[in-house]
Structures are given as structure tokens and as C-alpha cells.
Amino acid sequence: MLVAMAAVSCKSVTEERKVVIVGAGIAGIAAAKTLQENGVEDFVILEGSDRIGGRMRQGEIGGVKVEIGANWVQGLGSNPIWDLAKRYNISGKISDYDDVVVRNKTGSDVTAEAEEVWERFGTAQEYLETWRKNIRDDKLPDVSIRVALKLGGWKVKTPLEKVIEYFDYDFEYADPPEVTSVNNTGWNSKDFTEEEYFVTDQRGFRHIVERLSEFLSPNDSRLQLNKVVQTVSWTDAGVTLTAADGSTYRGEYGLMTVSVGVLENEVIDFTPDLPPWKVEEIYQFRMGQYCKIFLKFPRKFWDDNEYILYAGSLWPQYAMWQNLEAEGFFPNGTNILLVTAAASEVQRVELQSDETTKQEVMAVLRNMYGNNIPEPESILVPRWLTNPLFFGAYSNWPVHVSARDFEKLAAPVGRLYFGGEATHPRYNGYVQGGYLSGIDQANAILKCMQQGVCKSYQPDVSSGAVVTPISVALLLPIMTAMFLLHG
């Protein structure tokens, strides 16, 4: 009875805040921190899950905590996430992508044979880099990674060629090279260093988000967990949001930091509907799929190398293996292998039982190491695609997406702003993209609030965007004048 009454009273109260932020991933937390540091303390963060960190999250296998979401600090040097990782002593290991063994369908070590293939691939990648520079410098049309590689002489005909390509592209962008853009990728290695730091810290990669959130006091009412936002009303004067438990929040400003997967799956009801130019962009941006399958074995039977590639077929399945028993990862005897499924493989893996996945991965391991290998003691299969708080792993801008499209995705509607990794112009898909987008969007809100300089987007009629009554009204006199001038 008491519970029912509490629920009723919860429904009737509307919490009023200056800013309502949806999502307590790194973007939402970075945004709130920026507001606080600039004198705006009156905000609330609504988070649908029972924790902060979003896609920076740990799971546990065999008594060891492993990263089921973001794992690498991608690009060191001036990457702000690398600064934070160093500041908070996040332990990990710089990945050695040269420490790799390649095995074919029957398990033979074909690493030596692969040398010549890597070399040819490298030549095509040099061509791709030149092409990328030309696209950017001369404003040429974008092409897919597949097209650029083909132009560079790289045509995939063997499983060995396929797995080598997969290692650099599908494994990175969670999408095949046919989809991934040349123009929109490659910023990390241009702006930072090419090194990548694999986090093994038992406090989690998420520890960075926890430290960033230290501006919140323990049990701070400005962080509300288990609040799944279901409706968002937006106007030029403010926003009103309701959560699944009926609680309501009104803000002068709103900031959505949910994934583009959440937006495209329409689990949040916007009133009025988001304008067509916004919806069009949400549909254009893709959620890449990436599933990290962890296996705990009673003993190690695999290669000592950090990476094990399985050149099993032209359609790779369970091709990308990481030896977490290698030096510098987890304590000796942990005996954990990680195999990553990427892109179209993921849907099947997520929808089937863990037992089926276990049988499939064991079949591949037997191909590589024979029938006398032990069964795993446990398996961990995270599910991002089927989780309604994410609907996928991270955004991958497809080939036709332009800087203009990105501006539209990140543009506010009325007083409702949009952040999160997908909205960052250079580092979408990465933790640094989420972090920097949170800061950027908070600054945009502050500018509007404190200086009256507010971001807005007007649909561009010539791009085929929907013609609003206002733009028709504006266009009519121009068209009439043109008609009069030209007869």
C-alpha cells in the first residue's frame, strides 16, 4: 500500500531544473561537470540503468573483471582520455598488433605466408591514406574503404587476405569496409598517436567516469538512476520529460546523450515529432555491432601471441582472438581468451543461446588446436544490440555522411540539445567523442543561457529537406522577385 502511494505521489510531482540531461555515460557526466564548473548547479541527470558509465562497463569471468564495452584508449599523445587514464592511474597494456599469429582453416600456422599479404595490404593502405588526404584537401567526393582499397590494388580472394583486412577494418569500425567512409575515419591516428592502450584495471575503464563525477556528492539527488525516459516534449521555451516510473522533469534546457541506436529505434516518444531533417540524420548514422565473447579455460592451450587470427573462410566468424593470458594483461593462470564478433555476425550471436555460441567457438578452436583441448569453464557474451538502452555498440558514419549531416545530428531542436559519441565531428564511435561532445553541448547550452547566443538549425531547402511553412513563406517573395526579373 505504502509503495503504491509512493508511486502515485511520484507521478504527481514535476521536478523543475534548469537543465535535464538524459544519460550518465561519459557524455552526460562530462556535460554536467561542465555546467557545474560554469556556475550552473541546477541540473538533473536521468539514467536508465542502475549505474553511470554507459558503454564503459565491466563484466566478470573466472573472478576477473573484464571490459565488455570500451576497452582501448584509442590514440595516446594528446587524446584527452589518455590524460585522464594517466591522471587516475588506469592500468593496462599498449597493444602490440605485430605480435600476431595467423592460423588457417585446419590450424596450420600461416604467419610466414601472411607476410607477403600484409605487405600488399600495406601498399593499398598507403594508397588509401593518399586518397583520404586528397578527399579532404580538394573536397573530393567521399568513397568507402572498400573502393579505396580496390583502387590501391587490394582485391580479397582468399580467407587469409580477408582476415588481414578484417583485423584492420571490421574489428575497428564494427562494420565492413563497404560501409565505412574514408573521409570520416582516421582522425584518431592523425590527431593523436597510433598506439592503443588496452585497459585491464580492475576498477574498470569506467573508473574515469566515476572520478569525473566527483562533483556529485554521495546520493546527490541530481543523479537519478533507473529512470528510463519515455517521453520528451520540447519547445523553444523548455523541455518536459517523463520516465517509465511516471516521474516528470521540466527543464529550461534538455540534453539527450543516448546512443543513435536508441534514437533510431524510437523508444523515446518526442512531442512534437522531431523535425524531418533531424530524423533523416538519425536514420543516416549507423550503429556498428561489436560483441566481445570471453572464455575462461582450465588451462592455456593456445599460442603465446597477443593476437590470433583465424583465416577460416571468406566470411569470417570467430576470426579475431585475443590472448589475455599473454604478458601484461591479467595474472598468470587466469586463462582467458577473448574472441570478437563484429558487424553482421553479432545479431546471430546475440539472439542465440550462450551454449550455442560456446559450441560454435569451440568448433573453431578445435580447428585451430585439435580435439584434445578442454571445454571452457565459463563464457561471457555481452549483449549491446538487443539492449534497449543502447541498440548496438558505437556509431560508424557511413560513406555518404557529410560534415553538414553531422551538424544536423548535433543541432538542437528548440531547447533540446543532442550530444553523445555519435555527435562528435572527429571522434565519433570513441570514448573521447562522447567526452568531448558532452563538454561541447554543455558549452552550447551555457552560451544560450548566459549570453543569449543560441544554436539553431534551419532546414536547407535545396538539399531536399522538408519545406516548412516558414521556409515557404520566406521563399515565396524571393521566387516572385526572380520571376519578375527573368520574365
Ligand X SMILES: Cc1cc2nc3c(=O)[nH]c(=O)nc-3n(C[C@H](O)[C@H](O)[C@H](O)COP(=O)(O)OP(=O)(O)OC[C@H]3O[C@@H](n4cnc5c(N)ncnc54)[C@H](O)[C@@H]3O)c2cc1C
Q: How far is the CB of 174 from ligand X (least distance, A)?
A: 8
Burial class of residue 231 in the structure, from the number of CB atoms within 10 Å of its CB (0-12 exposed, 13-18 middle, 19+ buried): middle
Between residues 154 and 417, which has the closer beta carbon with respect to ligand X?
A: 417
Q: What are phi and psi of 454, to 5 degrees?
A: -115, 135
Of 219, 113, 229, 100, the closest CA to residue 168 belongs to 100
From residue 386, alpha-carbon distances to 179, 229, 258, 281 in Å are 22, 18, 15, 22
159 binds ligand X (CB under 6 A): no
> Which residues ranging from 415 to 474 are in contact with ligand X (CB under 6 A)?
420-421, 429-431, 433-434
Say if residue 340 is exposed, middle or buried (CB neighbours under 10 Å; 0-12, 13-18, 19+). Answer: buried
Q: Using an 8 Å Cβ cutoff, are 20 and 251 in contact?
A: yes
**In this chain, which of 20, 21, 32, 56 binds ligand X, going by CB under 6 A?**
56
- Give the nearer residue to ligand X in terms of CB position, either 233 or 367: 233
Determine the distance from the C-alpha atom of residue 64 to the mean position of all C-alpha atoms in its chain, rounded to a whole number: 24
Among 58, 71, 323, 441, binds ligand X (CB under 6 A): 71
Could you tell me how far CA 263 lies from the centroid of its own chain?
A: 14
The single residue among 34, 40, 49, 82 that binds ligand X, judged by CB under 6 A, is 49
Beta bridge partners of 383: none
CB nearer ligand X, residue 293 or residue 368 = 293
Distance of CA 233 to the CA centre of its chain: 26
* Residue of the chain from 94, 147, 151, 228 that contacts ligand X (CB under 6 A): 228
Region of 2-10, 103-111, 257-265, 478-486 interacting with ligand X (CB under 6 A) = 257-265
Q: Does 381 show up as a binding residue in the annotation?
A: no
* Site membership for ligand X, residue 302 (CB under 6 A): no
How would you label 301-310 residue by residue, b for 16+ Cβ within 10 Å and e otherwise?
ebbebbbbbb
Q: Would you count residue 393 as binding ligand X (CB under 6 A)? A: yes
- Segment near ligand X (CB under 6 A), from 122-130, 221-229, 308-316, 397-405? 221-229
Q: Which stretch binds ligand X (CB under 6 A): 91-99, 223-231, 406-414, 462-470?
A: 223-231
d(CA 487, CA 474): 21
Q: Which residues bind ligand X (CB under 6 A)?
A: 22-28, 46-49, 54-56, 69-72, 74, 227-229, 257-259, 262, 268, 290, 292, 384, 389-390, 393-394, 420-421, 429-431, 433-434
Binding site per annotation, positions for FAD: 229
